[in-house]
């Protein structure tokens, strides 16, 4: 665990640093995959940066709405630089809408862009998970396994490393799928299947999870739902290719 | 042939659904269960907050473990630190608003009591300010930058750690993790 990177008198928190790095790695990998698919890689950077910008604004607006009584008395804080004053989901939703608008506006091929974005997202998840490990965020459940790591005197599953390795494995499968005859879009379904399965499988190794009915871990259930939807999507693509080849 | 392929995919989906639901069911985490009690005290989310006893700037004894039963906002600060000065008004406001319900504490790092008293008087601060004159508690809480604020629930478990200053909105958001 290395929560702070100390360079002389400068103390840099590693987790936020890893998140910035994850964003860059995601855009770079997505851009390279886009180029491999015959697209201009800059489209991934453009869509990603527009999404980031609008996402940040929406995250702040979401925070302002959610905590309006506090902002009403401190209106300057609405445009303040406090990076904690953000709500995740409004930002994610707005970012996705803007990225979709960019693809639509430029008349780019949806399936190929999604394939490139999926690869970039998986690379970003891998780096962010390593950042979680270094920063001691979202630690694993207590464990006696030989590879367990000690966080504050408790040996725990290095669940962040599991998640990073899973993301790398799914990324490798996604890149391989780009060569499949099933065509553009197949890699996206495969990425969704792999990521969904990894969340479903690994969530119980986290020390704490958000729960829904009867203690069901919310992200585990969401992972299974994503995997099933992705399997249904692959069924339509790979199934029909197999049918054509055999027919 | 198409029917055979489709049937195989359908079976695969049914198999995944069955195994998936079983794995989810056996790994449920019923609400209200926490393993925090079995963990050693540490300045980390999910761990019991380390205990300490200090004397406040007003000469009173402050014992962290005696606050059990009430949520605690444990703020590490110093008078020379500009971001710390920026957030003291919000902490004081929360102290007044949640009097008797939430304990707001400002652990001053290695400064003379007279300086802290003068600062508190200048800004009208009334919440307790234990003096960590040897910075031992700061080390115990692994405080590497000021301000750092720990949000501790009524069971004495650390729920959030905020590095850097809070404003009214972010304080309201962070308080939701420990109150009500």
Q: Report the SS3 class of residue B69.
A: coil
Higher pLDDT: B158 or A12? It is B158
Q: Is B72 helix (H, G, I), strand (E, B) or coil?
A: strand
Per the structure block, which two tokens stand in for A101? 């608008």
Q: What share of chain B is helix, strand, coil (3-state, %, to 5)?
A: 40, 20, 40
Binned at pLDDT 50, 70 and 90, residue A89 comes out as very high
**Best of B27, B143, B162 to mutate (most A CBs within 10 Å, chain A):** B27
A80 pLDDT tier (thresholds 50, 70, 90): confident
B contacts of A224 (beta carbons < 8 Å)? 16-17, 20-21, 24
Supply the mean pLDDT for chain B: 91
pLDDT higher than 90, residue B37: no
In this predicted structure, the answer to whether residue A179 has a pLDDT above a threshold of 90 is no
Q: Give the containing element (helix H, strand E) for B76.
A: strand B72-77
Instruction: Tell me the nearest-neighbour CA distance from B58 into chain A, angstroms.
Output: 31
Q: Are B173 and A67 in contact (CB under 8 A)?
A: yes
Nearest to A11 among B27, B145, B169 (CB): B145
**pLDDT-derived band of residue A210, with 50, 70 and 90 as boundaries?**
confident
Instruction: State ipTM.
Output: 0.83
* Model confidence, pTM: 0.85
> What is the C-alpha separation between A65 and B60, in angstroms, rounded?
41
Q: Which residue bears the tokens 């599953």?
A: A157
* A103-130 CB burial, b ≥16 within 10 A, e <16: beeeebeeebbbbbbbbbbbbbbbbbbb
pLDDT in tens, B60-82: 999 999 999 999 999 999 999 99
Tell me, what's the pLDDT at A136? 85
- Kindly indicate the confidence band of residue A3, based on its pLDDT and cuts at 50, 70 and 90: confident
Nearest residue to A230 (alpha-carbon basis) of A173, A181, A179: A173
Q: Percent of chain A at pLDDT above 70?
A: 96
Chain centre distance of CA A147? 25
d(CA B58, CA A90): 45
- Note whether B64 and B49 are within 8 A (CB): yes
**pLDDT tens by residue, A117-166:** 999 999 999 999 999 999 888 889 889 999 999 888 789 999 999 999 99
pLDDT, position A244: 54
d(CA A41, CA A119): 13
Please check whether residue B167 touches A, CB under 8 A.
yes
The residue ranking higher by pLDDT, B141 or A6, is: B141
Q: Which residues pair with A150 in a beta bridge?
A: A155
Q: In this model, does residue A242 exceed pLDDT 80?
A: no
Q: Residue B16: closest CA among chain A residues belongs to which residue?
A: A228
Q: Is B11 on the interface with A (CB under 8 A)?
A: no
- Note whether B20 contacts A200, CB cutoff 8 Å: yes
CB contact under 8 A, A231 and B13: yes
Chain B environment of A232 (Cβ under 8 Å): 13
What mean pLDDT is predicted for residues A165-186? 92
């Amino acid at each position: 665990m290395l929560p702070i990177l100390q360079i002389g008198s400068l103390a840099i928190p590693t987790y936020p640093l890893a998140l910035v790095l994850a964003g860059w790695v995601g855009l770079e990998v997505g851009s390279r995959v886009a180029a491999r698919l015959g697209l201009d890689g800059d489209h991934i950077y453009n869509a990603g940066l527009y999404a980031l910008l609008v996402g940040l604004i929406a995250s702040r607006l979401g925070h302002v709405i959610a905590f309006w009584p506090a902002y009403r008395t401190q209106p300057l804080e609405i445009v303040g630089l406090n990076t904690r004053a953000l709500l995740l989901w409004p930002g994610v939703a707005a970012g996705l809408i803007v990225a979709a608008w960019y693809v639509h506006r430029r008349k780019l091929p949806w399936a190929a862009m999604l394939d490139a974005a999926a690869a970039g997202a998986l690379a970003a998840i891998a780096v962010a998970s390593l950042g979680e490990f270094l920063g001691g965020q979202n630690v694993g459940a207590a464990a006696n396994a030989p590879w367990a790591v000690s966080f504050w005197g408790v040996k725990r599953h290095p669940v962040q490393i599991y998640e990073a390795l899973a993301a790398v494995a799914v990324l490798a499968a996604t890149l391989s799928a780009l060569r499949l005859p099933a065509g553009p879009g197949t890699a996206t379904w495969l990425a969704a299947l792999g990521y969904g399965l990894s969340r479903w499988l690994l969530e119980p190794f986290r020390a704490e999870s958000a729960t829904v009915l009867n203690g069901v871990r919310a992200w585990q259930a969401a992972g299974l739902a994503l995997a099933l939807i992705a399997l249904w999507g692959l069924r339509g693509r790979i199934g029909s290719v197999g049918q054509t080849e055999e027919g | 042939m198409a029917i055979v392929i489709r049937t195989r995919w359908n079976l695969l989906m049914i198999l995944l659904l069955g195994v998936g639901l079983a794995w989810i069911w056996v790994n449920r985490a019923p609400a209200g269960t926490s393993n925090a009690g079995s963990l050693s005290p540490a300045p980390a989310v999910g761990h019991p907050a380390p205990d300490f006893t200090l004397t406040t700037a007003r000469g009173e004894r402050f014992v962290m473990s005696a606050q059990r039963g009430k949520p605690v906002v444990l703020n590490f600060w110093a008078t020379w630190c500009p971001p710390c000065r920026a957030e003291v008004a919000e902490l004081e406001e929360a102290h007044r608003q949640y009097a008797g319900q939430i304990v707001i504490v400002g652990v001053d790092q290695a400064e003379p009591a007279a300086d802290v008293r003068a600062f508190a008087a200048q800004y009208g601060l009334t919440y307790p300010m234990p003096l960590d004159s040897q910075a031992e508690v700061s080390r115990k809480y692994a405080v590497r930058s000021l301000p750092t604020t720990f949000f501790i629930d009524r069971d004495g478990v650390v729920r959030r750690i905020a590095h850097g200053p809070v404003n009214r909105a972010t304080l309201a958001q962070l308080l939701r993790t420990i109150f009500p």
